[in-house]
Amino acid sequence: MRTPSFTVFTPTYDRAHVLHRVRDSLAAQTFRDFEWLVVDDGSTDGTRDLVASWAREADFPIRYLWQENAGKAAATNRGVRAARGALFLMADSDDAFVPRAMERLLFHWEAIPAARRDGYVGVTGLCLDAEGRVVGERFPGDPLDSDALELDYRYGIHSEKWGFNRTSVMREFPFPTPPGVRHVPEDVVWKAIARRYRTRYVNEGLRIYFQDAGAQLTRASPRQWVPLRDYWARRLSEDQDYIAAAPGRFFRLAANYARLCFLAGELRPSEQLARVTGTAARALWAAAAAPGALLAARDRLRELARPVAARTAP
């Protein structure tokens, strides 16, 4: 079976009313060597029949996989395993992108010297809003060869960006899927990849970013992230070389780690420190433990108030 250049991957859950944006964007692409892989995370809104009707008419391959509702992380892992393309391009269910998106991404990828390409995971560009304005920050260089760690801590870039990763690298770094956890922060994987691979960042708007209301795969409350507290501890420990570059961001990271520990009932310092290594990371946790406890208390109060609000709602 021939391998396409791109697998365009879309995880979806009850998003049939906006999924046409991805389909229409793919139909308009100037670069045609791709497949569209849709992993349906248990939709009940007719997504299966809709995608099947598109597959019968499209002039590009469309593959559809269904699974019981398990969240975006599990859906992404399944998509990575099933992908046939060498390059894995994630397109959310409400996304659109410009007609030359894949053509330009491939252009920037091939601009990396072939002898160096094995050290890169992919190419990432900018997002545009529905009016064509750039969303968030631009990269400080164009192109900029960097990684998710430097982008976050050194350059302070946190806004929506979009691009592809090599499928083989995505298979090296699957998303964690602890029992009962359906919402996993994507940073868990992007920062792990950053320790081994570079990314080429370009100041070119390629994705049209919509902030739709409605059911999405990525929503979560702090309580749902409690089983992932060891991943927050890992970031605090492994990334501590960047504390001087982004002290405020690390303080928030430490406070949120303590917050999840308190929500889990881990009240003793020894329980929380067991996951944290390094003098700087432990000192930061000590400074942030009290704010973390306050955040956890606020979370509990909100949980108690939620049923009351529901009962008194008109």
Task: Judge whether residue 172 has pLDDT over 60.
Answer: yes
Task: Judge whether residue 60 has pLDDT over 80.
Answer: yes
How far apart, in Å, are the Cα atoms of 284 and each of 149, 154, 174, 265, 275? 18, 18, 29, 21, 13
Position 154 confidence tier, pLDDT thresholds 50, 70, 90? very high
How far apart, in Å, are the Cα atoms of 116 and each of 144, 165, 167? 15, 15, 17
Query: Lowest-confidence range among 226-240, 244-258, 268-282?
Result: 226-240
Q: How far apart are CA 282 and CA 4, in angstroms?
A: 47
What share of the chain has pLDDT > 90, as a percent?
82
Instruction: Supply the pLDDT for residue 238.
Output: 93
Give me the chain's average pLDDT, please.
92
Q: Which stretches within 199-241 are classed as H helix?
A: 229-238
The helix (H) or strand (E) run that includes residue 83 is: none
Instruction: Supply the pLDDT for residue 213.
Output: 46
Q: How far apart are CA 37 and CA 94, in angstroms?
A: 15
Q: For the residues 156-185, what does the mean pLDDT come to?
A: 91
- Find out whether 7 and 37 touch, Cβ atoms under 8 Å: yes
In this predicted model, what pLDDT tens digit does every residue of 61-109 receive, in sequence order? 999 999 999 999 999 999 999 999 999 999 999 999 999 999 999 999 9
Q: How far apart are CA 43 and CA 73, in angstroms?
A: 16
Residue 160 structure tokens: 């929506």
Position 256 confidence tier, pLDDT thresholds 50, 70, 90? very high
Domain with CATH 3.90.550.10 in the chain: 6-208
Torsion of CA 6, 7, 8, 10, to 10 degrees: -170
Task: Judge whether residue 310 has pLDDT over 70.
Answer: no
CATH class label, 6-208: alpha beta
Q: Which residues contact 243 (CB under 8 A, 6 or more apart)?
A: 250, 280, 281, 284
Task: Judge whether residue 1 has pLDDT over 70.
Answer: no
Instruction: Quote the DSSP letter at residue 112.
Output: S
Of 128, 125, 208, the residue nearest 162 (C-alpha): 125
Instruction: Supply the pLDDT for residue 221.
Output: 67
Q: Which residues contact 17 (CB under 8 A, 6 or more apart)?
A: 45
Q: How far apart are CA 55 and CA 50, in angstroms?
A: 9
Q: For the residues 236-253, what does the mean pLDDT come to?
A: 94
Instruction: Supply the pLDDT for residue 307.
Output: 59
Of 39, 37, 38, 41, the residue nearest 68 (C-alpha): 41
Instruction: Supply the pLDDT for residue 13.
Output: 95
User: Whole-angstrom distance between the N-terminal and C-terminal Cα of the chain?
Assistant: 58
